């Protein structure tokens, strides 16, 4: 049992300026629960939307932000055998979603459920996964949303195989995991970015084809040509402003994995005729379940894969970390270190 106070970030009203680091009572685990002493957390684009209120303007406040983190089991409640005190774990993104096609409306951490931007996080023992030993805390903290989404999209929904041609949009957190996993699976990968410098860094991670979407607005046709007859799979992270080009890039009968909407959620210029005439599959993806997380960790552990980290900020500087991600210059995950 851990008594006393902890510090936790609280979003008290929407807007980055309304984040406050507050004292709170350290919770004690009840039956079936574990208390995790958080060591690091990482940021997703989603956290920017949550903090500014555009993710869910009706979300109840105050709220503890951030979904992704990792730490040590500090205490366990009655009946817990799945993990032990001292284990290195990460809480899963959607508590209770352990398998199955979708989360069935279950809420996620960091909005509306209490997030991991706290020195301690209380959760069900069933809702954590054990981490591979080679990962630093910062690396481990990058996994629950971005990495699980990329894994589940590529291998759960699209069943990517060696030799498949995969197009990945942008070089954000989820995109770089998709790149690393697609290469691990033996795929040929094209990646887009608005920055030539980021494209070169993507090449160093294994990208086979580099396309600058800012210099080449008709990048869909370019990718189609690079791949001969188009991509088998498109990892669509751009949304409304990119979907039309993504549909141009995919081959007949190929799959567009609809994951993100960094350019907005509405697609005004999408021509649906080629979608059905060419038998394109549009597949929505919403993160992934605990089984996907566990399978991904096996691969990460076996291949000693290392997540790409752009920057680490101390716990007290969470607002600066969010500003850094919002600035758009990051290549890799932005991490907040919590423990000592
Ligand atoms: N459905 C799900 O379960 C799920 C899970 C995770 C993430 N997401 C969504 O996926 C998206 C990315 O999330 P993230 O956390 O990976 O974001 P992030 O790390 O903040 O990265 C955003 C990236 O978007 C890229 N971008 C901006 N404009 C673009 C354009 N016109 N075309 C292609 N790329 C563009 C930028 O790449 P460059 O700088 O290289 O241009 C930037 O690095 C968000 O919409 C997020 O909500 C959804």
DSSP 198-236: HHHHHHHTT-SEEEETTT-TTHHHHHHHHTSS-EEEEEE
**Is residue 38 pLDDT above 80, yes or no?**
yes
Task: Give the chain's domains with CATH numbers.
Answer: 5-142+307-337 (3.90.180.10), 147-284 (3.40.50.720)
The minimum-distance atom of ligand 1 relative to the CA of 48 is: 20
pLDDT tens string 8-22 = 999 999 999 999 999
Counting ligand 1 atoms within 8 A of each CB, the residue from 43, 44, 167 with the most, and so the one to mutate, is: 44
Residue-by-residue DSSP string for 157-203: IS---TT-EEEE-SSSHHHHHHHHHHHHTT-EEEEEES-HHHHHHHH
Compute the distance from residue 145 Cα to the ligand 1 centre, in Å.
12
The reply to whether ligand 1 has any atom less than 6 angstroms from the CB of 156 is no
* Tokens read off for 331: 């290549």
pTM: 0.97
* Tokens read off for 128: 């954590």
Sign of CA dihedral 33, 35, 41, 43: positive
pLDDT for the residue numbered 3? 54
The minimum-distance atom of ligand 1 relative to the CA of 214 is: 31
pLDDT for the residue numbered 82? 96
The DSSP letter of residue 26 is P
pLDDT tens string 208-267 = 999 999 999 999 999 999 999 999 999 999 999 999 999 999 999 999 999 999 999 999
The DSSP letter of residue 152 is I
Compute the distance from residue 170 Cα to the ligand 1 centre, in Å.
6
The reply to whether ligand 1 has any atom less than 6 angstroms from the CB of 174 is yes
293 phi/psi in degrees, rounded to 5: -60, -45
pLDDT tens string 300-330 = 999 999 999 999 999 999 999 999 999 999 9
**Is residue 2 pLDDT above 70, yes or no?**
no
Nearest to 97 by CA among 122, 126, 72: 126
CA 19 – CA 62 distance, rounded (Å): 9
Compute the distance from residue 177 Cα to the ligand 1 centre, in Å.
12
* Tokens read off for 25: 């009572």
The whole-chain average pLDDT of the chain stands at: 97
């Amino acid at each position: 049992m851990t008594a006393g106070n902890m510090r936790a970030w609280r979003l008290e009203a929407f807007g980055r300026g309304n984040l406050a680091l507050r004292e709170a009572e350290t919770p004690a685990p009840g039956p079936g629960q574990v208390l995790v002493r958080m060591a690091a957390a990482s940021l997703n684009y989603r956290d920017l939307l949550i903090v500014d209120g555009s993710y869910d303007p009706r979300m109840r406040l105050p709220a503890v932000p951030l979904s992704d983190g990792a730490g040590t089991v500090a205490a366990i409640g009655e009946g817990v055998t799945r993990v032990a005190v001292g284990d290195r774990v990460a809480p899963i993104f959607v508590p209770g979603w352990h398998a199955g096609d979708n989360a069935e409306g279950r809420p996620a951490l960091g909005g509306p459920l209490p997030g991991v931007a706290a020195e301690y996080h209380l959760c069900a023992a069933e809702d954590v996964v054990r981490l591979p030993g080679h990962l630093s805390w910062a690396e481990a903290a990058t996994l629950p949303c971005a990495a699980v989404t990329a894994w589940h999209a590529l291998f759960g929904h699209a069943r990517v195989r060696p030799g498949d041609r995969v197009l990945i949009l942008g070089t954000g957190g989820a995109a770089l995991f998709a790149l690393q996993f697609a290469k691990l699976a033996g795929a040929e990968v094209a990646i887009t970015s608005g920055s030539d410098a980021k494209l070169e860094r993507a090449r160093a991670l294994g990208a086979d084809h580099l396309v600058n979407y800012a210099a080449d607005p008709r990048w869909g046709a370019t990718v189609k040509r690079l791949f001969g007859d188009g991509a088998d799979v498109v990892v669509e992270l751009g949304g409304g402003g990119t979907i039309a080009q993504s549909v141009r890039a995919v081959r007949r009968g190929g799959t567009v994995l609809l994951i993100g909407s960094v350019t907005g959620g509405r697609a005004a210029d999408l021509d649906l005729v080629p979608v059905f005439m060419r038998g394109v599959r549009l597949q929505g993806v919403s993160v992934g379940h605990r089984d996907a997380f566990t399978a991904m960790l096996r691969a990460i552990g076996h291949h000693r894969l290392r997540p790409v980290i752009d920057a680490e900020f101390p716990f007290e500087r969470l607002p600066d970390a969010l500003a850094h991600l919002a600035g758009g210059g990051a290549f890799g995950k932005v991490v907040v270190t919590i423990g000592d």
